[in-house]
Amino acid sequence: MVVDKFLTHVGIIMDGNGRWARSHGLQRIEGHKAAEKAIHDAVEYCGEMGVEYLTLYAFSTENWKRPKAEVIFIMTLLKSFIKRNIDDLDRNRVRIRASGRIDDLPSGPLSELRNAMTRTGSNKGLNLILALSYGGRAEITDAMRTIAGDIETGRIQTSDITEESISSRMYLPDVPDPDIIIRTSGEQRLSNFLLWESAYSELYFTDVLWPDFRREHLEEAFEDYRLRRRRFGDIDSGR
């Protein structure tokens, strides 16, 4: 197997579970259940490709607006997903992390998540980051509050506010910005995902619905990424 280090951080907006369910004549929740196989493929393939960080957008700050029964189902599924997969993930040296206002999660899934993070905390393989109760604007807002607090207590001055000092107050400051953000299901928007960190991310959209997304689709996305020229505002020195 060729381990290719060309991608460090992959972000995925896992969208289309509800439409997948409808297209199969099923309830929306069946779509969320069917998403697990796609997550397995993504974790496995990213691990094989030497990706260091995989961020999966699993639940947004706006998703709390959904019908209560669906929210409860997703939260219950989160807990059972971790329970079912923690042994395998740990064996594969995956480090489970979370990004978002996770204290807003119900206590059951939250404690399962915290246990998983503690158990896998020193693993050196893929960082699997679950974006839960995550919103880009919430993250920036929380960083601003931290900065205001640091100014109030005299730790920093207004002139110390820089892009770096803001970045260092994001939820996971050690994680590099995503190289690519993939969104399934044909929608072409970020829906509040990694707003600060995606400034120079390559965006890749596919019509495939998340429960149908398999390693060959990820391969296609990575191949597409490989052909892109990232300039970061500079001139293109390659061609």
What is the set of active-site residues?
15, 63
What's the closest the beta carbon of residue 192 comes to ligand IPE, in angstroms? Answer: 8
What's the closest the beta carbon of residue 20 comes to ligand IPE, in angstroms? Answer: 7
Is 138 one of the binding residues for ligand IPE (CB under 6 A)? no
Please say which residue, 49 or 209, places its beta carbon nearer to ligand IPE.
209
Is 187 one of the binding residues for ligand IPE (CB under 6 A)? yes
What's the closest the beta carbon of residue 90 comes to ligand IPE, in angstroms? Answer: 25
Residues 38, 213: contact at Cβ < 8 Å? yes
Please say which residue, 104 or 187, places its beta carbon nearer to ligand IPE.
187
CA 220, 63, 96: angle at the middle one, nearest 5?
A: 60
What's the closest the beta carbon of residue 239 comes to ligand IPE, in angstroms? Answer: 35
Per the document, the length of the chain is: 239
Look at residues 71, 10, 84 and name the one whose alpha carbon lies nearest to residue 40. Answer: 84
How many CA atoms, within 13 angstroms, populate the side-chain half-sphere of residue 224?
A: 15
Please say which residue, 127 or 185, places its beta carbon nearer to ligand IPE.
185
Ramachandran angles phi, psi of 53, nearest 5°:
-135, 130
Instruction: Enter the DSSP assignment of 35.
Output: H
Q: And the tokens for 129?
A: 């980051």
Tell me which of 58, 94, 116, 182 binds ligand IPE, using CB under 6 A: 58
Residue 88's contacts (CB-CB under 8 Å, 6 or more residues apart) are: none
Q: Contact residues for Mg ion (CB under 5 A)?
A: 15
Please say which residue, 108 or 149, places its beta carbon nearer to ligand IPE.
108
Look at residues 31, 29, 101, 97 and name the one whose alpha carbon lies nearest to residue 61. Answer: 101
Please say which residue, 85 or 185, places its beta carbon nearer to ligand IPE.
185
User: What is the Cα Rg of the chain in Å?
Assistant: 18
Is 63 one of the binding residues for ligand IPE (CB under 6 A)? yes
Is 14 one of the binding residues for ligand IPE (CB under 6 A)? yes
Look at residues 102, 129, 96 and name the one whose alpha carbon lies nearest to residue 8. Answer: 129
Tell me which of 8, 19, 196, 224 binds ligand IPE, using CB under 6 A: 19
Is 79 one of the binding residues for ligand IPE (CB under 6 A)? no
Residues 205, 186: contact at Cβ < 8 Å? yes
Partner from ligand IPE, Mg ion, none binding residue 160, C-beta < 5-8 Å depending on class:
none
- From first CA to last CA, the distance across the chain in angstroms is 30
- Which residues of the shown chain bind ligand IPE in the complex (CB under 6 A)? 13-19, 57-60, 63, 74, 185, 187, 189, 191
